[in-house]
Amino acid sequence: MSSFWHWYIIVLTLGNIAACYWLIRWTAKPRPGEASATETTGHVWDNDLSEYNQPMPRWWLWLFYITIVFGLVYLVLYPGLGRFDGVLNWSQYSAYQQEVKQMHERTASLYESYAAKPVPMLANDPEAMDTGRRLFANNCSVCHGSDGRGAKGFPNLADASWQYGGEPETLKQTITNGRNGVMPALGASLGQSKLEAVAAYVYSLNGRNAPQELVDRGKDVFMTQCVACHGADAKGNPQIGALNLTDDTWRYGGSLETIKETILNGRNGQMPAQKELLTPEQIHVLAAYVYQLSGQAGQRSASSE
Ligand code: HEC
Ligand code: HEC
């Protein structure tokens, strides 16, 4: 704040208070010769209703004085006068910091008890899952959807198909350090004819029909160009996040057109690392939440019954 505005605010604020004080004094004093107990303002309503011209009652005046004193005391204690911080040194920022600190202290013991439980066990703890749901809504749902079912380009976390894996440790790795799946743009090196063929092959891997001649040629292309990452069975490789191309769940889309687009231009899914944003305990709870979302917690308890 420049010193002009600093003084502008001080002069205006104090000037207003002084003006209020003066106004009250001025209206409170009966002016000589003017007011007496029987004098009226001269207005008459409904034939016989008239108004006395008397100063305001004392208690009413005192309310005004108290308000002024309150205002001045407030301005001494709290920030209000330009750059002056107030003698209590209170600020919105420090108040917020204080609240955050208190919140952390209150939740620390809770998170400690969560951290002590293994992920599959935590996934069956309804209270921990309430916390997980809130964390997910605040940190993950923008991309994965509030129900975790994802969208085009963003994985569905509520099914059993995994890009990197759904084991507790893998989930924690993914959330902590992020992931970056790189599908190279192969269109230029393949050329149109091979591109058509290999796209038809991938299309046919999901129980759909494509011209046999194309599929046969496409398989050859796949075995040289794609096998290193997606594997000979095209079921993918969780180490590098190469997607399973046979399970009819699609990250970017399974139409022939979209498959061609993927091969032509490549894809580059980015899951941001959370380690700077969340504590290890929060990540632990989130791993359990995703574990539970994907139905693994239910399976486990069902099989142990
Ligand atoms: C260098 C490793 C690599 C090679 C080579 C590779 N891919 Fe991929 N592919 C990936 C990765 C990683 C992803 C996931 C990309 C992401 O996470 O955004 C992927 C994704 C895909 C997808 C998207 C699947 C979906 O669910 O939408 C298709 C289709 C695909 N690849 C087909 C192919 C074909 C066909 C070839 C060979 C012409 C090929 N890939 C070669 C690594 C590779
Ligand atoms: C900015 C968008 C974004 C946010 C925010 C985000 N994610 Fe992701 N997430 C992705 C993308 C994109 C991928 C796929 C990465 C790839 O293709 O390599 C992914 C992948 C994942 C995977 C791997 C799924 C698998 O099949 O292996 C998990 C688990 C996951 N995210 C959990 C979370 C959690 C938990 C949060 C909240 C703390 C979160 N994500 C926040 C975009 C996001």
Q: What is the pLDDT of residues 256-298, one digit of tens each?
A: 999 999 999 999 999 999 999 999 999 999 999 999 999 988 6
- For residues 126 and 50, which has the higher predicted lDDT (pLDDT)? 126
Percent of the chain whose predicted confidence (pLDDT) is above 90 = 72
Asked whether 132 and 286 are in contact (CB, 8 A), the reply is yes
Q: Where are the domains of the chain?
A: 3-77, 93-178+281-305, 180-271
For ligand 2, mutation pick of 143, 249, 270, 293 (most atoms within 8 Å of CB) = 143
Residue with the larger pLDDT of the pair 55 and 125:
125
**How many residues are there in the chain?**
305
In tens, the pLDDT along 151-205 reads 999 999 999 999 999 999 999 999 999 999 999 999 999 999 999 999 999 999 9
Three-class SS state of 150: coil
For the chain, what is the mean pLDDT? 91
Helix (H, G, I), strand (E, B) or coil at 125: coil
Q: 183: CA distance to ligand 1 center in Å? A: 4
CA-closest residue to ligand 1 atom 5: 226
Is residue 302's pLDDT more than 60? no
Q: If we measure between CA atoms, which residue out of 65, 69, 38 comes closest to residue 51?
A: 38
Model pTM greater than 0.85?
Answer: no
Which helix or strand (DSSP H or E) is residue 52 part of?
A: strand 49-52
180-271 homologous superfamily: Cytochrome c-like domain (1.10.760.10)
Q: Report which protein residue has its CA nearest ligand 2's atom 7.
A: 271
Question: Which ligand 2 atom is nearest residue 157's CA?
Answer: 24
Among the bound ligands, name the one nearest to the CA of residue 204.
1
Ligand 2 site, residue 144, Cβ cutoff 6 A: yes
Taking the C-alpha atoms of residue 240 and residue 242, their distance in angstroms, rounded to an integer, is 6
- Indicate the CATH number of 93-178+281-305 among 3.30.70.3000, 2.30.40.10, 1.10.760.10, 3.40.50.1240: 1.10.760.10
Query: Which residue shows structure tokens 């066990």?
Result: 121
Is 17's C-beta closer than 6 angstroms to any atom of ligand 2? no
Query: According to the model, what pLDDT value does residue 57 have?
Result: 81
Per-residue pLDDT at 203: 97
Q: Is the pLDDT score of 303 beyond 50?
A: no
Q: For ligand 2, is residue 122 a contact (CB within 6 Å)?
A: no
Q: In terms of Cα–Cα distance, which of 255, 256, 257, 229 is closest to 244?
A: 229
Q: Which helix (H) or strand (E) holds 179?
A: strand 179-183
Question: Do the two domains 93-178+281-305 and 180-271 of this chain adopt the same fold?
Answer: yes
Closest residue by Cα to atom 36, ligand 1, is: 226
* Alpha helix positions (H), the chain: 3-28, 58-77, 92-115, 119-122, 126-139, 141-144, 168-177, 187-190, 192-204, 212-225, 227-230, 256-265, 280-293, 296-304
**Amino acid identity, position 53:** N
Q: Residue 285 corresponds to which tokens in the numbers above?
A: 């709870």
The answer to whether the beta carbons of residues 237 and 246 sit under 8 Å apart is no
pLDDT at 29: 74
